[in-house]
Chains A and B, each alone.
Chain A
Amino acid sequence: MILNSLLSWYFQDLLAVLSSDALLVPDIFLLSILYYNFSDFSRDTEKEILLLWISFLGGILWDLRWIGIPGLFAFIYVGTFLCASWAWSVFPESGHTVSMFFVIVWLSQLPGFFAGLFLWNIVTEHYFRSMLVCQAYSIPLSALYSLFYARKLKLKNV
C-alpha cells in the first residue's frame, strides 16, 4: 500500500514535469489513497490512520517540490481525505456502491483544482477552459478507479 502510494505520487510528479500546468495535473496520489481507504472492507482504523499520514506526507512533498510553501497541499489532501472518509462512513455498507465511490472520488479532485486556480491566479476567461481540462482528466480517472473498486467489490462478494 505504501509502495503503491509512493508510485502514484511519482506518476503524478512525472505528469507535472511533462505538463506545462504543473498545478492542474490530476491528483492521482489522492485518488490512490482514497481507493485504498474505501476498498479496505475490514474497516481497519489503524490502516486508515496510516493512509491519513501518508496523504499528509505526500502533500508536504508536493508542496516542497512544486509550490515552495509546505502545508497547502498537505492541508488539502488531509482535509479531502477526512471529508471523503466522513461521507463514506455516513452511508451503510450496502450503500458503498460503485456509483457512490465514483461521485466521492470525483468530487475529491475539486479542492486541489481550485487551489491550483487560486495559486496560478487564473483570470475569468481562462477559468472555463481550465474547468474543462480538469473535468477531462478527473472524470476518466475517477471512472478508472471506480472500475478497480468494482473489481474488488466483486471479488469480495464471490
Chain B
Amino acid sequence: MDKQSTQKWVNGVIALSISLILLGIAPGIQMRLHIVNFISNILYIPEYPARVLRYAALDLSGWFFGKSELIQRINLLSQENTKLRMINSEIMTQRILLDINSNLESAQVVLRAPNAWWNELRINGGRKDGLTIGEAVFKEGYLVGRISSVEENFAWVELITSSSLMLPAVVDETRDIGVICGDGEGNVWLQFVPENRGIEKEMSVSTALVGDKLPSGLRIGKISGESSISPNGFRSVRIDIGADLSKLYSVDYKRHIKR
C-alpha cells in the first residue's frame, strides 16, 4: 500500500470515527436540536418549490378523492331517504287504515245497472247517514270508488273502473306518482308513469293526496305487470285492484276520515 493510499484510508477511518462519536454523543446534546432547526430554516427557501408541488399534488388528489367520497355519501343518503320515506308512508297508511277500519259503516248495493256495470252503483246510505260527495268507498280494505252524488236515503258511487274517474296514485316502493283511470271494462290503469322507473310486478299502489275526503295511503291494488307505452313516451301500467268488483254486494264507508 503506497503512502497516498494510506493517507486516504487514514482520512476514511477519521471520518468514520467522527461519525460514530457524533452518533454516540449527539442524542444527549441539547444544542443538536438548535442545529437541526437552523438547518431546516436555512433549507426552507431552497425547498420551497418542492413543497409547493407536493401540496398541489396533495390538494389535487384530495379534490378527486373528496369528490368521489361526496358522491358516495349522497347516494347512501339518497337510499336512506327512500327507505325512510317508504317506512313513513307505510306508517301513514297503517294509521289511515286503522282509523278507517275502526269507524267503518256498511251499506248495501241496491242498484248496479248493466249498461254502467263498471262505472257506477247505488248504495242504501245517504245524507241521513252522513255521506257527502267525494268520500271514499271501500271493500275489503281497498278503495273501490268515491261518492259522486248524495240523496237523503241513497248515494251513487263512481267506481275506480270508470273511465271518467281519475285519481292521483303512487307506487309505494318507488314513490312514482301517476293517475289511475279505468277503461270502463273492468280494468284500471296507472297512467303517465315515466319510462325506466323500475316499476315491477306486485308493487303496491295507493292513493296520493287529493283532499281531506280522499287522503293519501288508501290501498288500491298491485301492479299486474302488463304495460303499454303511449306515443308521448309515458307508460301505462295495469293494476290488479284489491277489491273484487264482480262480487260487490256491499261496500264500506267512513264519514269523517281523520289523518
Contact = CB atoms under 8 A, between A and B. Distances in A.
A61 B40 CA distance: 10
Contacts of B39: 61, 64-65
Given A17-B51, A49-B11, A53-B11, A68 B19 contact: no
Given A52-B12, A64-B36, A70-B32, A14 B23 contact: no
A52 B8 contact: yes
Contacts, number: 83
Nearest to A61: B39
A112 to B, nearest CB: 14
A18 B50 contact: yes
Contact of B15 (A48, A52, A64, A65): A52
Contact of A82 (B9, B21, B53): B9
Nearest to A45: B4
What is the predominant secondary structure among interface residues of chain B facing chain A?
Answer: helix
Contacts of A52: 8, 11-12, 15
Given A64-B36, A68-B36, A70-B26, A75 B16 contact: yes
The interface centre, meaning the residue of B7, B9, B12, B53 with most chain A CB atoms within 10 A of its CB, is: B12
A61 B43 CA distance: 11
Contacts of B15: 52-53, 56, 74, 78
Interface residues of A, number: 30
Contacts of B19: 56, 59-60, 71-72, 74-75, 78
Please tell me the size bucket of the interface on B. 20 to 34
List 10 tightest A-B contacts by C-beta distance, closest first.
Answer: A71-B23, A71-B22, A75-B19, A45-B4, A17-B50, A74-B19, A14-B50, A56-B15, A64-B39, A78-B15
28 contacts: A13-B43, A13-B46, A13-B47, A14-B47, A14-B49, A45-B7, A48-B8, A49-B7, A52-B11, A52-B15, A53-B15, A56-B15, A56-B18, A56-B19, A59-B19, A64-B36, A65-B36, A65-B43, A70-B23, A70-B35, A71-B21, A75-B16, A75-B23, A78-B12, A78-B15, A78-B19, A79-B16, A82-B9
Interface of B: 4-5, 7-9, 11-12, 15-16, 18-24, 26-27, 32, 35-36, 39-40, 43, 46-47, 49-51, 53-54
